[in-house]
Amino acid sequence: MAENEDGQEKSEEATSRRLQEARDKGQVARSRDLGTTAVLLSAALGLLIVGPSLIRGLSSIMTRLFSIERDQLFDSNSLFTVWGVVIADIGLPILGFIAFLALVSFIGNIVVGGISFSAQAMMPKGSKMSPLTGFKRMFGLQALVELTKGIAKFSVVALSAYFLLSFYFPDILNLSQDHLPGNLMHAMDILWWIFMWLCCSTIIIVIIDVPYQIWNHNKQLRMTKQEVKDEYKDTEGKPEVKSRIRQLQHEISQRRMMAEVPKADVIVVNPEHFAVAVKYDVNKAAAPYVVAKGADELAFKIREIAREYDIAIVSAPLLARAIYHTTKLEQQIPEGLFTAVAQVLAYVFQLRQYQKGRGRKPTPIPLNQPIPDEYKKY
């Protein structure tokens, strides 16, 4: 298991942040052998496509040059004519062939790791110019792996080339007995098959190299448990800081809620443990809604503010608990509690009229109002 400088095991997979930081630095999984094999195979395919055109072009040029007349040797214009024939017959196919190879080379090198452009990777680094660092790279484990891969690739290609040349050797000797342009077509055919099989031999290397490069890249980015914890603290914040932030947010929310208590029409209490401030404003909502609620000490503060601003306090234990547990701030009362809340509001409004001398004293509402079973909270 890999270890860091502190001796801790890098047993954890790299986090998304670690992967993104590595990508920003240009550290992505790459398989040079995949790009090389893609170029070689595309070259074989390109030769198969443009090979006949090149052979016809070369044959035409050779025929023209070997049949040139004496007068044309002293004519400067004929030289430019020959160059025009060369460009038309073999120049354009070769340019198309090169453009095709460049495209395949680009695609082959981004299949593993994708497109990555990093300005940090292009910046000069002193560590890269350090002789000691270079010595470690030359004789380190990674250098040994690369040396082994190089020997394996050379062995595979050399053995493939030996068997292919042995197989096609009689055909190569017979080329001297053919005539133009047949011998050129035959030579191109032999060359293509040898080249094609050599390219295919490198697929064995790619099959091994691609998984290894991905595995090695992930291994290098692995993290220790402490690094994961430190990163979590950096991204999510330290637990004590987050706790303090939540505490401040809670205090701000409570102060904002307490500022709404004087606007309530009635405070429904338990009478000691719960307090719910309810308001009915037809211009804002179709049903009564909760502007503040609290339990224990917070309920005591709500009752204090209600007494300070002369807000009616009604003791209805079942109703207070039901509203507290089922209704959020600024949320309307559930439909199942409409009847009970309407009775409380009616009593409060009648009590206000009585206090102003405009009506008779209302009958106090019962302490235990009928509450649907699904809203009862004990």
- Cis? peptide before 317, omega within 30° of 0: no
Query: Can you give the pLDDT at residue 82?
Result: 65
Domains of the chain in start order, with CATH, are 18-222 (no CATH), 260-375 (3.40.1690.10)
Query: Can you give the pLDDT at residue 276?
Result: 92
State the burial class of residue 16 (Cβ atoms within 10 Å of its Cβ: 0-12, 13-18, 19+). exposed
- Those residues of the chain that have pLDDT short of 50 are 1
CA separation for the pair 364, 356 (Å, rounded):
18
Query: The dihedral of CA 329, 334, 338, 341: what is its sign?
Result: negative
| Ranges of H-type helices in the chain | 16-24, 32-66, 70-73, 76-86, 92-110, 119-122, 131-139, 141-174, 182-220, 225-236, 239-258, 297-308, 317-326, 338-355
CA separation for the pair 34, 205 (Å, rounded):
9
**Residue whose C-alpha is closest to residue 341's, from 376, 316, 359:** 316
Predicted TM-score of the model (pTM): 0.43
CA separation for the pair 245, 193 (Å, rounded):
72
Query: Can you give the pLDDT at residue 45?
Result: 81
* Cα dihedral value 24, 29, 35, 36, nearest 10: 120
CA separation for the pair 359, 13 (Å, rounded):
76
Query: Can you give the pLDDT at residue 206?
Result: 84
Residue entry with tokens 């190879």: 101
Sequence-ordered list of residues with C-beta below 8 angstroms from that of 264, at least 6 positions apart, any chain = 277, 278, 279, 291, 292, 306, 311
* Cα dihedral value 31, 32, 36, 42, nearest 10: 40
The tokens of 11 are what? Answer: 């047993």
Within 13 Å, how many C-alpha atoms sit on residue 316's CB side? 29
